[in-house]
A and B are shown apart, each in its own frame.
Chain A
Amino acid sequence: MRLTIRITAAVTLGIILIFSLYSYLAIQRERQQLKKNLSREARNLGGSLLFIVTDLWETRGEDVAINFLRRRNLLSSNLQARWVWIDAEIGTPFRPLVPQSELSSLSDGKPLSLLVTSDDGHDFLLTYLPTTNLLGRLGGIEVRESMDELHDYVQESLRRSAMVVAAAVGSALLLMTLLGSIWINRPVRRLREQAERIGTGDFSTALDIGGRDELGKLAGSIERLRGQLAAAKEADDEAAREQIETLEKLRHTERLATLGQLSAGMAHELGTPLNVISGRAKLIASEELTPAETTHSARIIGEQAERMTHIMRQLLDYARRGEIRKQPVMVAELLANVVEMLHPILTKQRIEIELNLPLEALQVRADIGQLQQVLLNLAMNGIQAMGRGGTLRFDLSLHPEDENQLRISISDEGCGIAADHLPHIFDPFFTTKEVGQGTGLGLSIAQGIVSEHGGKIEIDSSPGRGSCFRLSLPLDFGEDDG
């Protein structure tokens, strides 16, 4: 809007200046013209009167001639003529209205016109028509003409000019406002809105203000910019989406890898009860057992089937995949469960386990499968770090600094983590294991899961002595409180 105001002001000023100058010159010219007309009229009249007066003077004497002039003046008050002697003394009746010095050119016999201002502020045009034919003395007719009419005319012209200027300024203002609004304000406002939209990251709206002027070209540039930004954003979004998908896939892969490791242990766990069941069943089928032995065998079959069911359930719980399904989880039970799942691997690697649980029951709201994955993952890290055996310790307690959180510590006596690796261990794909041994995603995924549950994982490690992963999770005081 300011731009329009400025342009309007400049144009208006220009109009005023041009009109004023034009009016001034026009009035000046008219004034000159008018004065020339008046002067010519006075000279004509004066010339005629001089001829008559000279004639009267010569035939009927001075008095008749002077009286003729006086009588003639009665006819027209606007145009007064009288007889003057140019060299008349001050105080005599025929003295000219202007000093004698200004009339020196009359001695050449040429008429003379002068503009004078009377004492009361009225302008007059005095025209002198000289003659030396009477008495041999320089005399003449003095025609006095009031310039009031000229004044009125100039006033009228000025007023008219002022009105024209006002009208011109008015229409200019109106036009400029109207056209400025259509040509400048509206497109500029739309450009500004578009720029602001782009600024806030909204690249969806196209802008076409039309026209081939500068604003139209600017709009074209902005439109191209928008297109480029939108394409860049689209590519960015696409990349982010792909990355998320890839991570999601890797997360699944990592899960399957852990699952594979666990499956080997599970096979052992399942093989044995299957063996017992088939063996006991055969014994019963042989019909050679005493009734007591048969009962015993049948009971063992039942127990082993239950054991297998339990193992399968654990495996399925772990492998279950999908959205987070949070539910109240008794952490002590979960830890016991994890320890049980790890048992085959621990036995194989000659690792002892120590599980320290608090007296009070600590409960969190969590996806049991995911939390189990985290604990298994941290434990597996500890186990892999203890190539020569040792003790893997699980401690569950209230968080020492925050009574609304609990803390699970998983400590190993393994090789530890080098100080320069510590800041990176939660980075995706960071691994110190040999190629093919680890994806480098386990801890990253564990960290992600714990964050999704409102907790965090911290780590303490001294190379050569072991590491301790400390997992904090918000306690759930929910339903079981009531």
Chain B
Amino acid sequence: MNHPLPNDQKRPPSVLIAEDDQALRELLSFALCRAGFSVACCNNGKRLLEMLESGIDDASTAVDIVITDLRMPALSGLEVLEALFDRPERPPVICMTAFGDAKTHQAAIRFGATHTIDKPFDIDEMIELVRAVYNYNNSDKE
């Protein structure tokens, strides 16, 4: 389960996690680290947008995948997606919702989310999803 990524990238793929709940943030961060990702975290939408914008502009802090909660203080996940909507360089975004209804999922997809996932989710499934999204995205670029 805890295999290194099946590609020969020079730096490990980086994941940016935006989640206001500390415990979940720590869990995701810990599990993704163990799965071989480099992880950065923030706890609100505003900070997420700032980090993404600097990453888009500066390749050294570039983010490969974003995992964001939809409900967050300052800016919500949807608002961040909306702000990034017309930026083609934006990384793939996985949105987490708590017992979200179909409407919430549809809204997230419409605003450009790559995937949506309901809380509570299986942590292994999340890692698999991150991995799949990363692989798909990278093979796509090549």
Contact = CB atoms under 8 A, between A and B. Distances in A.
Interface of A: 267-280, 282-283, 286, 288, 293, 300, 303-304, 344, 347-348, 350
Contact of A272 (B73, B76, B119): B119
B3 to A, nearest CB: 12
Interface stretch (B19-27, B54-62, B106-114, B131-139): B19-27
B99 A304 contact: no
Nearest to B73: A347
6 contacts: A274-B120, A275-B119, A275-B123, A283-B30, A283-B31, A303-B23
Contacts of A278: 120, 122-123
Contacts of A282: 122-124
Contacts, number: 70
B24 A276 contact: yes
Given A278-B122, A279-B123, A347-B73, A271 B98 contact: yes
Nearest to A263: B99
Nearest to A347: B73
Contacts of B97: 271
Nearest to A274: B120
Contacts of B121: 275
Nearest to A272: B21
A342 B72 CA distance: 14
B102 interface: no
Q: Name which of B1, B30, B72, B74 has the most chain A CB atoms within 10 A of its CB.
A: B30
A279 B1 CA distance: 14
Interface residues of B, number: 27
Contact of A300 (B23, B71, B74): B23
Q: Name which of B28, B73, B76 has the most chain A CB atoms within 10 A of its CB.
A: B73
B19 to A, nearest CB: 8
A293 B72 CA distance: 28
Contacts of A304: 23
A271 B99 contact: yes
A280 B27 CA distance: 7
Nearest to A352: B73
B27 to A, nearest CB: 4
Interface string B12-48: 0000000011011011101100100000000000000
B72 A347 contact: yes
Q: Name which of A271, A277, A293 has the most chain B CB atoms within 10 A of its CB.
A: A271
Nearest to A289: B34
B32 to A, nearest CB: 11
A288 B33 CA distance: 13
A293 B74 CA distance: 32
A57 B121 CA distance: 173
A101 to B, nearest CB: 144
A180 B76 CA distance: 94
A279 B27 contact: yes
Contacts of A348: 71, 76
Given A279-B27, A279-B28, A347-B73, 18 more contacts: A268-B119, A270-B98, A271-B97, A271-B119, A271-B120, A276-B27, A278-B123, A282-B122, A282-B124, A286-B2, A288-B2, A288-B34, A293-B30, A300-B27, A303-B23, A347-B71, A348-B71, A350-B73
| 9 A-B pairs with least C-beta separation | A271-B98, A271-B119, A279-B123, A274-B120, A268-B98, A267-B99, A275-B120, A276-B23, A279-B27
B53 to A, nearest CB: 21
Contacts of B123: 275, 278-279, 282-283
Contacts of A283: 27, 30-31, 123
Nearest to A288: B2
B125 to A, nearest CB: 10
Nearest to A343: B73
Contacts of B76: 348
A271 B117 CA distance: 12
Contacts of A300: 23, 26-27
A300 B23 CA distance: 8
Contacts of A350: 73-74
B6 to A, nearest CB: 19
B99 A275 contact: no
A344 B30 CA distance: 26
A344 B71 contact: yes
